[in-house]
Amino acid sequence: MTSSFILSVVTFTYGAAAILYWATWVFKRPVFGRAATWISLLAVAGNTVGILLRWLESHRMGIGHVPLSNLYESLIFFAWITMVVYLVTERQYKVKSLGAFTASLAFLAMAYASLSPDVNDRIQPLIPALKSNWLTAHVVTCFLGYAAFAAAFGLGAMYLLKTRKGKVPGPIMSRLPEPVVIDELLYQNILLGFLFLSAGIITGAVWANTAWGHYWSWDPKETWSLVTWLVYAGLIHARMVRGWHGRATAIFSILGFLCVLFTWFGVNLLAGLHSYAT
């Protein structure tokens, strides 16, 4: 299919962008940074075309639906939305070093989707439970949250690298933003991710009631979504009430993203209402 070929090319475009962002950070060459941004924009444009073509191809097959229904489609959408969120952040805050992490995550997601034999890239009919307008609302809000948490993960790693105890920052680490800037941007992304994850859980509950007649069933993915929500809720509470800043926030942003990954991938190994997500 044309969309699969385009998305395969996009995979390597994200890889090139990631390499250039790492080169920008290590060598501090503005030309690398400009090239990384333009290649990222090209990759996002190609990703957009691939998603739209896949949508069109499903209509031509007579089973038209938004391409958000299985693991392959969620991976390509995650790569797309993560880079969109990052590029908006880059434009507003000029933190190109974050691109080294986010572009790498986008590349890994696309590589897994395009190259792994365990991921089925065929367009298939929706099962009855997925034939709902709530599908788009639920998946888009959840993955907007995941994208913001991915950015927070990268910022958390940057903060820990910048503030390593007992070590004087070398020339590479000194090129990262000041810790107070990283910390504030990290918290803003956590708030954004928490808002969209909350919306995703709510839309998922409404969708579940429409499809199965109940809002909550303690399905493994539902349960781990709640665990992830509680981790970030606890972090926000600790920040507001206990004044958590710095390393504690950075560490929890990384742990929280590990919960996101388990919610997304790990629970697919367990039987449940979301087993079709593979």
Which pLDDT value is given to residue 77? 95
Domain 1-126 -> CATH class: mainly alpha
CB atoms within 10 A of CB 193: 27
> 3-class SS at 123?
coil
Which pLDDT value is given to residue 165? 63
Closest by CA to 220, choosing from 278, 147, 161, is 278
Burial class (CB in 10 A: 0-12, 13-18, 19+), 133: exposed
pTM over 0.85: yes
Which pLDDT value is given to residue 168? 47
- Give domain limits for the chain: 1-126, 129-278
Which pLDDT value is given to residue 67? 84
CA 142/CA 221 separation, integer angstroms: 12
Q: What is the DSSP letter of 117?
A: T
pLDDT digits (tens, 9 = 90+) for 86-126: 999 999 888 888 999 999 999 999 999 988 887 888 888 77
pLDDT digits (tens, 9 = 90+) for 6-28: 999 999 999 999 999 999 988 88
* Number of DSSP helices (H) and strands (E) in the chain, helices first: 8, 0
Q: What are phi and psi of 121, to 5 degrees?
A: -100, 10
CA 103/CA 37 separation, integer angstroms: 10
Spatial contact of 71 and 35, defined as CB atoms under 8 Å apart: no
Tokens representing residue 52 in the block? 């739209």
Which pLDDT value is given to residue 167? 56
Q: What is the full DSSP assignment across 89-124?
A: HHHHH--GGGHHHHHHHHHHHHHHHHH-TTS-----
CA 21/CA 27 separation, integer angstroms: 10
CA 33/CA 36 separation, integer angstroms: 5
Q: How far is CA 186 from CA 33, 101, 180, 232, 245, in A?
A: 21, 13, 10, 12, 10
Tokens representing residue 81 in the block? 């939305």
Q: What is the DSSP letter of 240?
A: I
For the residues 58-76, what does the mean pLDDT come to?
84
Angle value at C-alpha 162, between 160 and 166, nearest 5 degrees = 85
pLDDT > 80? residue 127: no
Spatial contact of 222 and 204, defined as CB atoms under 8 Å apart: yes
CA 212/CA 129 separation, integer angstroms: 8
CA 38/CA 56 separation, integer angstroms: 27
Non-local (6+) Cβ contacts of 129 within 8 A are 211, 212, 273, 276
Tokens representing residue 69 in the block? 């229904």
Spatial contact of 39 and 21, defined as CB atoms under 8 Å apart: no
**Which residue reads 């910022």 in tokens?**
155
For the residues 249-254, what does the mean pLDDT come to?
93
